[in-house]
Amino acid sequence: MALTSNPDWWRGAVIYQIYPRSFQDSNGDGIGDLLGIVNRLPYVAALGVDAIWISPFFPSPMRDFGYDVSDYCDVDPIFGSLADFDALIEMAHALGLRVMIDLVLSHSSDAHPWFAQSRASRDNPKADWYVWADAKPDGTPPNNWLSIFGGPAWQWDTEREQYYLIISWPASPT
């Protein structure tokens, strides 16, 4: 089934979200993976969906189940490889399914190289790629914002001597 080039394909589309870790394990290690998704795509297509939306499968310390991305350009080995992702795209398109990936662009892992560079100094090229703020005069966070998981939305960084914003998980700076 050929995909159309209609830019409004998403209007009224049925989108099936897949969380790779628990969807289908293809290699017997107990963790779902990209080839497991490939194996089940004919079933998903038979449901009549227009697209699949895949939760993060990028390299990650997995402190936030993959939402703490440490490399947006690769596949975490527990989920497979870039070749497996290519196979997934090829199979999905052959079945007439569009593929959406959850890039989680609002934050990364504190293990991401961009964050390491941002925290290294206040005047490097990536210094403002994350939200940093000075402490109040008494050393407390800049305001009383809360993260979505509870607790303060600010984490003190001893290297940069500033607070960084964490809207979600503490290891996922914003």
| Residue ranges of domains in the chain, CATH in brackets | 15-101 (3.30.750.90), 106-174 (3.90.400.10)
Say what the pLDDT of residue 104 is: 80
More confident residue, 72 or 149: 72
Place of tokens 């993976």: 33
| Residues paired with 98 in a beta bridge | 51
Residue 47, classed as helix, strand or coil, is coil
Residue 93 has pLDDT above 80, yes or no: yes
Say what the pLDDT of residue 126 is: 93
Which H or E run includes 157?
A: strand 154-157
Average pLDDT of the segment spanning 36-42: 98
The amino acid that residue 110 corresponds to is D
End-to-end CA distance of the chain: 40
Residue 27, classed as helix, strand or coil, is coil
More confident residue, 63 or 135: 135
